[in-house]
Amino acid sequence: MLNQNLSHKLLQKLSPQQIQLMKLLQIPTAQLDQRIKEEIEVNPALEVTTEEDEEFTQQDENEPEPLVETPEPNDDFDAEPAEVEEINKSDDVDMSEFYDESDEGVADYKTKDPNEFSDPDDEGKSIPVAVSSTFHEYLEEQVGMLTISDREKAIAIHLIGSIDDDGYLRRDLDAIIDDLAFSQNIMTDEKELSHLLGLIQGFEPAGVGARSLEECLLLQLRRKDDPTMHTDNAIRIIDKQFEAFAKKHYEKLERSLGLDAHDLKQAVEEIVNLNPKPGSAFSGGLSSQQFIIPDYIIANNNGELVLSLNSANAPELRVSNTFRDMISDYKKAKIKSKSQKEAILFIKQKIESAKWFIDAIQQRQNTMIVTMQTIMELQYEYLISGDETKLRPMILKDVAERTGLDISTISRVANSKYVQTEFGTLLLKSFFSESLTNDEGEEVSTREVKKILSDLIGAEDKNDPLSDQKLTEYLIEKGYNIARRTVAKYREQLNLPVARLRKEL
């Protein structure tokens, strides 16, 4: 049975503008420029202020203002005189919000110092683009040096296309045989495919086309120009005792292969100097590099920290002068047709959207400045000295309480943002850490404990590395109440292996 009733509810619902503001707040400066370009493409009322616009505006101010011609009623093709008069009487478009005669023709950029953010050294500069062949193109070029048939070349090129960017062939040969049959109508077998793969494994760089790490290392060792006894021992280690080598069971290697400590050390050095990813020299080119653009810049001015917001990717925005002129013409016109009114409503909508976007960008910058200013005050000692042991424990709630902003807002500001300091460019999230109480009852940052832990492991004797229990005892002696499992967790967060895997000969 269906019933209808009325009920009152209190709901909190974000408007589309609030959602877009949160998204603007979350993106880093490196992506803000692209976001602004997308908004300009969809909103013709929004444009970027340039120096050329300023020159043209100054020239226009020296010229006399053209007279505005009021069209006669019989010149209006969209409405009859009676209809036009009715439209004028019922005109409800309020233009006072978008048009003000006192600021007509005065752009926002005229009130700013043109040299405030400009750098004359930046003019005419462009980023050069390096032209180089890819890893797979380099391998395909070497196929042309082989004395094989066109059919075999097609199979070899298909094999090269199946090689990953790091140089490994991880696809089964049976699957490649099926691919050749379906895609290129080439029938082959595993014997022919293995023969061509062996030819590819002779290409540069050494180790390419390997199907496992063991095979990659063996290919490089067997192609040594000046092999020695230690090279032969290294081949024996990889070929017969690879698992023991990976786990650093050196005593087992000495017993099983009949090697003394000196010969084992020399053989291990031969293996360590090999490249486990032969394709890395090509995959690490410009196409895969990520350049970090700092969102903030902190300068040390004789002990006083000066914060500035990087505005390189935040150009000055304004409402288009063309749309302002349309508003001006509509305001001055005595007779307004129906089509003019519809057009001015469209213009009004676009101007509202442009003004909101400009305000959102400004609000984003203000929120970022307020948040970073608070972080800078909390972490003053660390930013002055650069010593990680001076880093205070700080969580999102601490910054939110000082700024009066919501925790979610602070989280969005800290997400994927970087700050440039005299000690390097740091991720904003690295300033946040949990607290730990020492023997004196003081709260210290977990980053401080991790720094001490990293220093202890870095200074240890690699022939007898410190276990997690010994590291715990050292930290307790320094006054940090910490459990062994916590030390193990911090060590894993620092990407440091256990003591056995840190051992060296």
d(CA 158, CA 176): 8
For the chain, report the end-to-end CA distance as a whole number of angstroms.
82
Which tens digit of pLDDT belongs to each residue from 371-384?
999 999 999 988 88
Percent of residues in the chain assigned helix, strand, coil, to nearest 5: 55, 10, 40
Q: Give the per-residue pLDDT at 195.
A: 94
Average pLDDT along the chain: 78
**What's the confidence (pLDDT) of residue 113?**
47
* Residue 96 confidence class, pLDDT cut points 50, 70, 90: low
Q: State the pLDDT at residue 132.
A: 64
Percentage above 70 pLDDT, the chain: 77
Is it the case that residue 312 has pLDDT exceeding 80?
no
pLDDT band at 208 (very low <50, low <70, confident <90, very high): very high
| Interval 6-34 mean pLDDT | 75
428 compared with 56, residue with greater pLDDT:
428
Give 293's pLDDT tier (boundaries 50, 70, 90): confident
Cα–Cα distance, 213 to 211 (Å, whole number): 7
Q: Which residue has the higher pLDDT, 113 or 468?
A: 468
Give me the pLDDT at residue 139, please: 92
How long is the chain? Answer: 505
Average pLDDT over residues 386-404: 87
3-state secondary structure at position 213? helix
Q: Mean per-residue pLDDT for 200-223?
A: 92
d(CA 393, CA 218): 49
- At 288 the pLDDT is 47
Mean pLDDT confidence for 438-456: 78
Q: Is a pLDDT exceeding 60 seen at residue 169?
A: yes
Rounded CA separation 343/339 (Å): 6
Question: pLDDT grade, residue 439 (50/70/90)?
Answer: low
What is the amino acid identity at position 351?
I
Q: What is the amino acid identity at position 26?
A: Q
Q: Are 340 and 333 in contact (CB under 8 A)?
A: yes
DSSP state of 301: E
Judge contact between 490 and 449, C-beta under 8 A.
yes
pLDDT for 110 equals 42
Residue 342 pLDDT exceeds 60: yes
Element of type H or E holding 296: strand 296-301
What pLDDT shows up at residue 199?
Answer: 93
| 368: nearest Cα among 420, 317, 403, 318 | 403
Element (H, E) at 242: helix 242-246
For residue 42, how many C-alpha atoms fall within 13 Å in the half-sphere facing its CB?
Answer: 8
pLDDT of residue 450 exceeding 90, the answer is: no
Looking at per-residue confidence, does 306 or 113 come out higher?
Answer: 306
- Does this model's pTM top 0.85? My answer is no
Instruction: Please determine, for residue 75, whether its predicted confidence score (pLDDT) is greater than 70.
Output: no
Lowest mean pLDDT of 124-133, 202-211, 336-345, 465-474, name the range.
124-133
Residue 56 has pLDDT above 70, yes or no: no
In this prediction, residues 94-103 reach a mean pLDDT of 50
Question: Quick one: average pLDDT of 406-422?
Answer: 87
Range from 85-89, 356-360, 490-494 carrying the lowest mean pLDDT: 85-89
DSSP 65: P
Give pLDDT, residue 212. Answer: 93
How many angstroms separate the CA atoms of 66 and 212, rounded? 78
User: What share of the chain in percent tops pLDDT 90?
Assistant: 21
Tokens 């032209």 sit at which residue? 131
User: Tokens in use for 316?
Assistant: 């000055």
| CA distance linking residue 181 with residue 178, whole number of Å | 5
**Most confident by average pLDDT, 36-40, 197-201, 342-346, 414-418:** 197-201
Report yes or no: 395 and 447 within 8 Å, Cβ to Cβ.
no
Q: Identity (one letter) of the amino acid at 403?
A: T
Alpha-carbon span 245 to 260, nearest angstrom? 15
